[in-house]
Structure 1
Amino acid sequence: MPPEANLEELKQTIKVLEQKCACLEASDQKFRSLFNGSMDGLLIVESGGGRIICANKQIGAMLGYAGSALQGKDFQVLLPETTNQPKKDLLQEIQVCGGVFTQDFMHSDGRVCVLDLMATLIPWEKDWAILCTLRDASERIQLEKQLRQSQKMEAIGNLAGGVAHDLNNILSGLVSYPDLLLLDLPEESVLRKPILTIKRSGERAAEIVEDLLTLTKHGIGAGEVINLNQIISAYENSSEYERLKNYHPHIHLTKQLTEDLEPVAGSMEHLSKALANLVLNTAGAMPEGGEVQVLTENHHVDGVQNECFPEAGDYAVLRVSGSGMPIFPNDLERIFEPFYTSKKMGRNDTGLGMTVVWRTVKDHNGYIDVKSEVGAGTTFSVFLPVFRNLSR
């Protein structure tokens, strides 16, 4: 073959190789763009030894590691040594089962992060590798928790509705007849004390039924325009406040009210009852006495701050705080459950007060936040959407 033909063939071969190199470079660029541009954290891990082949930039935002810092490290460095999850060979389970896991991961600063891990086997060079897609699971877990709580409250409301009306009919005689009997009894009669005990027991049972009926009432309709400051002033002149002072004589109520507080739309009756229950719960945590502080203020939320603020907007805030015993984390998760209490139920406690507060706040499209610390006490913050008169 003439040298000219060999040279031409070599040129063609070089051209084909250059085209293939260009295609490979373009393909690699596309892969890197997709890999690093993903909103999820991505890891590619050796299926055999568990060595991390590569990690994208989003891993840094999730776990505090730069992608290059993880390259070549063992996958196990991302898993915390102590965790509530059962011990398992995660890579083995991924290879056998694939699918989705909710897994604890270790942040570079030592925190434990809960992530959803979606894993699948992919061909990699001449072997197989595991593509791990990581996504923050905290929001999903919080939403599932809120859904379970709502379903639980819904079920309780349905149950309460089935029995509360019948109980009211039974209790009407238990509450009213003692008054008739007392009219005919002389003051010195030995029967007066047990009859009064029957009457008080009936009244207490009636209060529980009233709270059960509150749980069955979903929504408040159009409602009325309300200023929370007026509710607080009315509470100080109410029978609920008089009973509070009788049961807790060493409790003092102080107020810090914003004069230009924005109005809300809702039910004066339900919000008044919610305030009374919050004050009662706070006072109950201070058996030796103390100060219950009631504060109102306007608050604007720019965006999602935490699970307490799912929507941006303007809110009128009611805060009730006291320096009593703190609510421990395990109790804090269950504080709004019916009949759940870490304290001994008192004479003025139906066991449904905080459940009624939760139901009322939800019916007003509001949010409630609870903060409790040893030495600082507990603060309940109720955020209610500001009413805007759009007809103006």
Structure 2
Amino acid sequence: MMQNSGFLRTKEIIAITLILVGIKLSDSTPALLAQKAQNGFWLIPILSFICIFPSFLIMLYLLKKYNDKNLVELMEAITGKWIGKSIGLLLFLFAFFTTTLDSRNYIEQVKLLYFPQSPTMVIFFVFIGVVFFGAKKGIEVIGFTSWISLAFIKASALLVVVLALGDLVIQRIFPIFGSGLPNILTEGVKKASMFAELFFLLIAYKATKATSMFVKGIIIASIITLFEITLFYFIYISIFDYNSVNKIAFPFQDLTQFIELGQFFTNIETMFMVFWLLAAFIKFIILIYLTTWIFGEIFAIRNFEPLLLPFSFLVIMIGLLPFNAVINELILRESLLTIMSPFFIILPYLLWGTAWGKGDLK
């Protein structure tokens, strides 16, 4: 299986991006942000996006200038083979640990909410097993699956928003800056890598019929994703208040249990669970595929499909290492976000400056 089949279109790129990045509205990221920003945490995605999106646009500009390159090849062309591979290896490690820590986060949600008696290891193996078989189908099937699933996933999210509107208490957003504007600004910069998946997707730059399709799709989806995440974070703070969000590990799941659909429909959270699980599976299918793709490009392994199995196994083994969800979320995942943020904010400017100094941008 070659990594660049060139069959994706704008709509598939939009679907992949919306599912891969947009699902952050339903994980434990809000609780993580509320730890320091309090009821101003809903502003952090906006600030993070403002910090990291110009860097992302620079990467798209460089990819357009070096239009025969993918992400890893671009870094090697600008900085030289060995420096480029070193940066690529660091990018791979970031993608791999993002996959590992995020998957443990989702496994904890599934176990706590739906299968409390099941061992974490069993759930992990089943979950990643499904992800592995999905990733083996290739980028074209992943894109098609993302597109046909998108309408159902977003319709369920829209229904949650509509049902939650009647319970909003707007006054709970005050004071708007929560623990203070300096804290909000600091957390906005430190957590800019909450959009790091946009950079991982750049490895698929040549997977579309035309690169203009990729650029159009990922930019449109990025803006929509920012709106979705901000909207849901605003709903969380308006319904639960920061004191509750601060203590609720999975606010989306609590919200689906809080809302009601008339007097005769009970346990509607089960309906939302189906679409949430679908989105979660697709998210990690995309992540494990992109991570393996990056590794294959670094070491010139064009047929990287056989690597999906060992990487899936490593995700499980390393994902099981944190003793509990608190260590995974408040220590490891927060540290990873803090480390990745300056990397993704600064690297594109360094690459652009190097390319300009070499005269490649003339």
Same fold per superposition (TM over 0.5): no
In terms of Rg, which structure is larger? 1
Q: Which has the higher strand share?
A: 1
TM-score interval (norm. to shorter):
under 0.3
Q: Which has the higher helix share?
A: 2
TM-score calculated relative to the size of structure 2: 0.25
